[in-house]
Amino acid sequence: MSKNNYRIAVSIALFSLLLSNTAHAAMDVSYSFGAIVAGIAFIGLGYMATYLFNAPQIRAMLQDELVQVMASGAMLLIIAGVALEVDVFVVSAMRASDPAGSYTGITSAMDAANSVIGGNINNANWTYNAAHDTSLAIGREGSKSLYCTFIGVGYSLNNCGQLNAFRGSLTTIGFVASAALADLFAQQALISLVRNLAFTFLIPIGLFFRCFKASRRAGGAFIAIGFGFYTVYPVATVATDRMLQASVSLPDPILPSVDTCDPYETDNSRARVYVQDYATRLSDFGGAESIIYTLLVRIVFSSMFCLLVTLGFIRAFSQMIGSDIDVSSLARIS
């Protein structure tokens, strides 16, 4: 082995030693390390084959590929270090922002993002249940009526039925809340998928592909996707939620309760006042603003914004490491 190749091998060994010291409870770099070792093994076998088949022209190409392996090791070191520092920073920020100590179980940015999403799930679930219960209460009170007969003539008296006009709005609230819940569950599934696959499949396969010229662009794409969703997506989720929560101070979403309707009331004006009073309380601007802000801004808009930020980072990072990903289709889907 030449002197330059010896230096390259020593450098790769030093990188491997550093990578072994960056292990984290939520980050297993052993698969990535194995991918780099596999790349070195393939190049080593090819290098020995050049002597066997007397192909010195290929030997220079393999030396260049060995440099790319070293670059991939350096990239893994940087990625693992950045991910570790991001976890430390996000965990410290979350604990500092909550003196009550409810974030004591958080150990990574993924845990922080899951905590934020869990809080939004509670808000959306509460709104859905409130709309459901209020709609049932309106149906129960609005179904009250009287049937009277006088000298063989029958007629109905239904002063409570006008309440049913509000059930359409409550159905819309329930539909939006259910859509928000589906969005939040999809975010949790995405975070769980990335937590389990980023450093066990996406980044290792990307590092292995990046060791060879033919698959270098695909390797860069895998690395960018894994690193982007593992690091940038949870940070964007936590930062966006904290920014939206701190920028506007709104009361918790509250739907007005339904008062008991008296079906024996014969004065139409009093029955009209009963319905108008509930309409005024239901259309209160403060309550409506709180529901719309929670469901549409803090949940639906926030998830789309975080996904766009992550996709933008993935494209920029992939270009930096020699690849190019067209994320326009994914951005339209988001």
Q: DSSP code of 22? A: T
Contact 240, 302 (CB under 8 A): yes
Q: DSSP code of 257? A: P
0.95 exceeded by pTM: no
Q: What φ, ψ does residue 145 adopt, rounded to 5°?
A: -155, 170
* Residue 208 CB coordination number (10 Å): 23
Q: Say how far apart CA 23 and CA 30 lie, in whole Å.
A: 8
Tokens representing residue 171 in the block: 């159905």
The mean pLDDT value for 18-43 works out to 72
156 has which bridge partners? 147
- State yes or no: pLDDT of 15 exceeds 90: no
Instruction: DSSP for 86-105, please give it.
Output: HHHHHHHHHHHT-TT-TTTT
Q: Say how far apart CA 251 and CA 291 lie, in whole Å.
A: 9
Which residue pairs from 170-174 have beta carbons closer than 8 angstroms and sit at least 24 positions apart in sequence? 170/131, 170/134, 170/135, 170/138, 170/255, 171/131, 171/135, 173/127, 173/128, 173/131, 173/255, 173/291, 174/128, 174/131, 174/132, 174/135
Question: How large a percentage of the chain has pLDDT more than 70?
Answer: 84
Contact 109, 234 (CB under 8 A): yes
Higher pLDDT, 77 or 153: 77
Q: Say how far apart CA 38 and CA 210 lie, in whole Å.
A: 12
- The closest alpha carbon to 299, from 251, 256, 237, 249, belongs to 237
Contact 217, 323 (CB under 8 A): yes
Residue 322 backbone zone (phi > 0: left; psi -120 to 50: alpha; other: beta): left
Tokens representing residue 319 in the block: 């270009």
| Segment 52-83, tens digit of pLDDT | 787 777 777 887 788 888 888 888 888 988 99
List the Cα angle 284/289/292 in 5-degree steps: 125
Predicted confidence band of residue 25 (pLDDT cuts 50, 70, 90): very low
Higher pLDDT, 128 or 159: 128
| Segment 212-230, tens digit of pLDDT | 888 888 898 999 999 999 9
Note the Cα 236 to chain centre separation in Å. Answer: 9
| Segment 185-206, tens digit of pLDDT | 999 999 999 999 999 999 999 9
- Helix, strand, coil tally for the chain in percent (to 5): 75, 5, 20
